[in-house]
Amino acid sequence: MKKIDIDIINDGEEIKNIDKYKELGILDYCNIYNKKATVGFVGVVIKKDRAVLSLPKKYELDKNVSNEKKIDILRKILNIFTSLDVKTEGNIDVGENEQFPIKSYLGIYGYYKRFGLYKSIEKYKESGFYGNFDWHRTINLKEKILQKNGIIFDSFIITKNRDVDVFLGECMDFVLSDASNYSDILNVVRKYGSLYSNKIFNNLDLVIKILNSLKNRYFKDIEKKLIQNIINYFKWKSSSKDNFKLLTLNFELYWEKMVDIYLNKKFVSYENDTLKWGNNTKYKFKKKDYKVEKPIKRDKPWKIELDHFCVTEDTVYIFDSKYYNYVSDLNYKQLFYSYHIKSLEEFKNKKKINALLIPKSNNKNIIDLNEIDNIHIDRTNLDEIKIMEHYLDLEDVIDTCVKGG
């Protein structure tokens, strides 16, 4: 990948110099109010030799760090996007033809890994002594000697197959080679050297038109999917030129997935209102749904979702991940969840641990009083409900997800 100049911003921060970023087109992903723009995304926008990398809330990075360090952080963020299965509006596949088509690329690469570049199988005939004999042509066309015990042929006509390069294979070759330019920042993209050189790829709109006309000639689902993935990639390439975008407007959903991984890898105990971390071999956290009946029976019941739920022999853990800068208001949802779990007979005799899990700065040199674990609400003396706020080191959470712990 060519050298690029990377600017660092953070999700949720105000952009002081709007004009500086207009050319990069990031204002479409910002919240504009009273002529003020607030960053509303996490991810990267690259245009020619300039880039803007928007980091998650609370992720602090010295603006003067080396470009190599910025690239390393960029890889980690994009690795989060490509490795976690998050389905929602605003995720990395939103905006048709705007963002790098990860899923389409993976579909094309997956086909290539299984079958190679697409080729057509052509049957042909040749003379020989081994293989699939074409007796009809052999008898009618070949020199033969009639003998008492049979017929001797000077040779046989053999039916053979050979692979023929076709346009779809050339399209795959172009996509794999073009995507390879981003292999330095995208862990799922593989290095690939082009095998063909066809001037038709100078006119991508024509290529798309040809591919659309080809779709009805193929009947296998795997071929149809391959063609559609190639079309998707060319549509992106045609509209984006050499620009690159990969971002999410909903990083809170990624934070939830990241916390889930972090808990299942590192949570080892909860002592004196404190989370203890290490190598988790005991606890299994998962998302849990409950239906809550409404007072009016004919109404449909509510559905509540517990982000991180774990039950042991004597304890119920009810954790909720929150992608906040700071917690300023009472979290009524978590309070309601706590009462609901408390009301269930199956958990009647178990201890309940309730907590909000919030990202905190990775800057070890500054102690932010707003990022110290504390009590969110304490009703222990009234109804045994207590909700804590726990702040997780954002950089460690990211590294755990990227490196596997």
Asked if 95 contacts 102 with a C-beta cutoff of 8 angstroms, the reply is: no
**Neighbouring-strand partners of residue 47:** 50
Asked if 265 contacts 284 with a C-beta cutoff of 8 angstroms, the reply is: no
Tokens of 118: 């697409």
Of the two residues 160 and 211, the one the predictor is more confident about is: 211
Q: Which residue, chain included where needed, has tokens 């998050």?
A: 86
Q: List, edge to edge, every strand of the sheet that includes 30-33.
A: 14-15, 36-39, 30-33
pLDDT tier at 213 (50, 70, 90 boundaries)?
confident
Alpha-carbon distances of 50 from 61, 67, 81, 284, 393, rounded to whole Å: 18, 12, 21, 43, 30
Asked if 158 contacts 125 with a C-beta cutoff of 8 angstroms, the reply is: yes
62-66, 97-101, 335-339, 367-371: range with lowest mean pLDDT: 367-371
The residue type at 232? N
Calculate Rg over the CA atoms of the chain: 30
Calculate mean pLDDT across residues 34-48: 91
Tell me the three state secondary structure of residue 13.
coil
Tokens of 343: 């009301």
- Please count the other Cβ atoms lying within 10 Å of the Cβ belonging to residue 37: 20
State residue 370's pLDDT score: 57
Q: How far apart are CA 140 and CA 272, in angstroms?
A: 94
Tokens of 345: 């007979």
Residue 249 gets the label, from left (phi > 0), alpha (psi -120 to 50) or beta, of: alpha
State residue 90's pLDDT score: 46
Q: How far apart are CA 308 and CA 286, in angstroms?
A: 5
State residue 163's pLDDT score: 47
**Neighbouring-strand partners of residue 309:** 286, 318
**For 227, phi and psi rounded to 5 degrees?**
-65, -45
68-77, 133-142, 159-168, 391-400: range with lowest mean pLDDT: 159-168
Outline where DSSP puts E strands in 225-350.
244-248, 267-271, 274-277, 286-292, 302-311, 315-321
What single-letter DSSP state applies at residue 117? S
pLDDT tier at 51 (50, 70, 90 boundaries)?
very high
What single-letter DSSP state applies at residue 347? G
Alpha-carbon distances of 68 from 63, 72, 126, 214, 395, rounded to whole Å: 13, 6, 59, 44, 17
What single-letter DSSP state applies at residue 218? -
State residue 217's pLDDT score: 79
The residue type at 191? K
Q: Would you say residue 392 has pLDDT above 70?
A: yes
Q: Would you say residue 105 has pLDDT above 80?
A: yes
Mean pLDDT of the chain: 84
State residue 93's pLDDT score: 46
Angle at 112 (CA atoms; ends 107, 86), nearest 5 degrees: 20
Tokens of 285: 């956290």
Asked if 44 contacts 52 with a C-beta cutoff of 8 angstroms, the reply is: yes
- Please count the other Cβ atoms lying within 10 Å of the Cβ belonging to residue 39: 22
The fraction of the chain above a pLDDT of 70, given in percent, is 83
Asked if 5 contacts 15 with a C-beta cutoff of 8 angstroms, the reply is: no
Calculate mean pLDDT across residues 62-84: 89
Of the two residues 372 and 323, the one the predictor is more confident about is: 323
Of the two residues 330 and 109, the one the predictor is more confident about is: 109
pLDDT in tens, 113-127: 999 998 876 565 677
Q: Is the pTM of this model over 0.75?
A: yes
Q: Which residue, chain included where needed, has tokens 């000077």?
A: 154
pLDDT tier at 337 (50, 70, 90 boundaries)?
confident
Q: How many CA atoms lie within 13 A of 225 on its CB side?
A: 13
Of the two residues 35 and 77, the one the predictor is more confident about is: 77
pLDDT in tens, 235-289: 999 998 778 999 999 999 999 999 999 999 999 999 988 999 999 999 999 999 8
pLDDT tier at 325 (50, 70, 90 boundaries)?
confident
pLDDT in tens, 125-156: 677 777 777 777 767 767 676 766 777 767 77
State residue 125's pLDDT score: 66
Calculate mean pLDDT across residues 161-174: 78
Q: How far apart are CA 124 and CA 116, in angstroms?
A: 22
State residue 4's pLDDT score: 83
